[in-house]
Amino acid sequence: EIVLTQSPDTLSLSPGERATLSCRASQSVSSSYLAWYQQKPGQAPRLLIYGASSRATGIPDRFSGSGSGTDFTLTISRLEPEDFAVYYCQQYGSSLPWTFGQGTKVEIK
């Protein structure tokens, strides 16, 4: 099983600041099958990034994804008030089971 470890667990930032979230895999992950989601309290996850770096439909360009192999990054260039949430990475390549990271909470400082 591929374990995804996200860091940090919590990121305390102010609106307008840049957020950098990390996702590290225990084995190499195909970039085609690495995604990032945003989840707000009481809501379903929302797809932000797929294929490691492609933005999903309707996602603002302040969200960007990068990385390959075992190290992936989600960057939010300038935090808006609505961006404070929990973010999950997910791998869903040829190696089952598909797995999620434990999440990074981005909170208002």
Partner 1 sequence: QVTLKESGPVLVKPTETLTLTCTVSGFSLSNARMGVSWIRQPPGKALEWLAHIFSNDEKSYSTSLKSRLTISKDTSKSQVVLTLTNMDPVDTATYYCARLRRDGYNLLFDYWGQGTLVTVSS
For residue 37, give both structure tokens: 């989601």
CB 106 within 8 A of CB 83: yes
64 binds partner 1 (CB under 8 A): no
Contacts of 38 (CB under 8 A, 6+ apart): 45, 46, 48, 83, 85, 86, 87
State the Cα–Cα distance between residues 55 and 53, nearest whole angstrom.
Answer: 6
Nearer to partner 1, 72 or 92 (CB): 92
Residues that bind partner 1 (rule: CB under 8 A) add up to a total of 25
Site string for partner 1, 5-44 (x = CB under 8 A): ---------------------------xx-x-x------x
The one among 46, 64, 70, 75 contacting partner 1 by CB under 8 A = 46
- Residue ranges in 69-108 that form contacts with partner 1 under rule CB under 8 A: 88, 90, 92, 96-103
- Closest approach of Cβ 17 to partner 1, in Å? 25
Show the CA angle centred on residue 78, arms to residues 73 and 81, nearest 5°.
Answer: 110
